[in-house]
Amino acid sequence: MTATDLSVCPALPPCDHQPAPYQGPSREEVLALRRQHVNPGVFAYYREPLMIVEGKGQFVWDETGRRYVDFFAGILTVACGHCHPKITQALIDQAHKLQHATTIYLHPGIAELAARLAAKLPAGLDCVYFTNSGSEANDLAMTMARLYTGHRDVICVRNGYHGGTSSAMGLTSMSTWKFSAQGGGPIHHSLNPDPYYSPFQGSPEEVAEKAALDVLELIRYSTPGKVAAFLAEPIQGAGGLTMGAPNYLPRVYEIVRAHGGLCMADEVQTGFARTGEHFWGFEHWGVVPDVVTMAKGIGNGYPLAAVVTRREIAETLTERVHFNTFAGNPMAMAMGRAVLDVIEEEGLQRNALERGARLRAGLERLADKHALIGDVRGLGLMQGIDLTTDRAQRTPATAEAAALVEAAREMGLLIGKGGLAGNVVRVTPPLCVTDADVDFALEVLDVGLRAVVG
């Protein structure tokens, strides 16, 4: 952005937290150490990587003491806000008692959190296996589906993201990460039901029906006629905040179950009240999965994830020895229980609904004002802005999206980007944001969009 652009930067929303003076190594020293010793596959956002040294609520600070409003929430990981006092205290208290105990010993933490998660899910989804990451959760869900059904083929949706293990990268194949690992068996990718970029013609409902029939075609012609599972995000995160019309998941679930498969919901990004009206993303579509995977928001930044399913499916793991040394450890369980406490006690689901509505209305006003915005989509505090250089042709504005993310950072707002072409701006703040934070973000986006188009 130019100096003129910076002169009209919106004022940051109020904050009463004072960060401690930073006394660690300089940004340049950290960069040098990272370049020398950290695998280059670990990448950083922004042309000039940002160094974050403190966080509180919806705000983070760099080493110079400059404050930023976090509307990317650690890629949806920090649901309740950075360094929430109750969650932090739960971790401290548990650290003073017992930091680690594997699941071969009894500890109340794992049983208590499992029961609380089951209470948040539809009846029957009451058997929990904790893991350390969403990648592990999706890998384990796929293993259980294959054991339970006796089938090998798994179907996912194009442009989805399901993790970074070899198996999870297979689930993500032909998508935003373009890997092709098969993860121990055949994996197929159905056409995306997103009506904005779909090759199908018709209304969103017609596109959803045609995309569902593509799943049927895969089962008929690319599998033995039987399938182990269908796995999908209720709203694609990294794939660009896309989703099908309400008839999509019910139709696909019907098809998959008719051919012997399980239906699995990846709630890693949509779960834990982020979408506002419901606690889980799948609830928006009126379906009940056979398996639900979750991560990120469940631990508010702590490595914690889970697979929840019905008992008869869970019992398949007794057919083999399956062990995870750190999953279900007392520290993670304390964090998970505290997260559920905070979401309930502070009304964060309602806040996601109300602040999400304010955010969505503001983004739609920006779409009316800026031709660069081709589409606004999402639910609650999980919103995406699809940027296009030509609304009629829906040409992805990849460079402009990258420039907008940079411009927002310069004005003190942290947002992300996604989509297959990297042209979708992802606006996904912690669930604790206020009206003032939302209004600030909208002002920054307005100024940034003007700057991007010159």
pLDDT tens-digit series, residues 107-166 = 999 999 999 999 999 999 999 999 999 999 999 999 999 999 999 999 999 999 998 887
- Is residue 173 domain-shared with residue 38, that is, in the same domain? no
Q: How far apart are CA 4 and CA 213, in angstroms?
A: 53
pLDDT below 50 — which residues of the chain? 1-4, 174-178, 180
pLDDT of residue 4: 39
Domains held by the chain: number:
2
pLDDT of residue 123: 97
- Is residue 380 domain-shared with residue 298, that is, in the same domain? no
CATH at residue 51: 3.90.1150.10
Helix axes 108-119, 330-345, angle to 10 degrees: 40
pLDDT of residue 177: 46
Of 288, 318, 345, which closes a domain?
345
pLDDT of residue 76: 80
Query: Is 79 inside any structural domain?
Result: no
pLDDT of residue 237: 94
CATH at residue 177: 3.40.640.10
Query: Is 77 inside any structural domain?
Result: no
- Is residue 129 domain-shared with residue 171, that is, in the same domain? yes
Q: For 195-253, what is each residue's pLDDT tens digit?
A: 999 999 999 999 999 999 999 999 999 889 999 999 999 999 999 999 999 999 999 99
- Is residue 55 domain-shared with residue 122, that is, in the same domain? no
- Is residue 376 domain-shared with residue 318, that is, in the same domain? no
Cross-strand pairs, 427:
383
pLDDT of residue 173: 52
pLDDT of residue 183: 55
Number of C-beta neighbours around residue 59 at 10 A: 23
Of 345, 365, 385, which closes a domain?
345
- Is residue 274 domain-shared with residue 150, that is, in the same domain? yes
pLDDT of residue 319: 86
* Domain extent for 11: 3-70+351-452
pLDDT of residue 321: 81
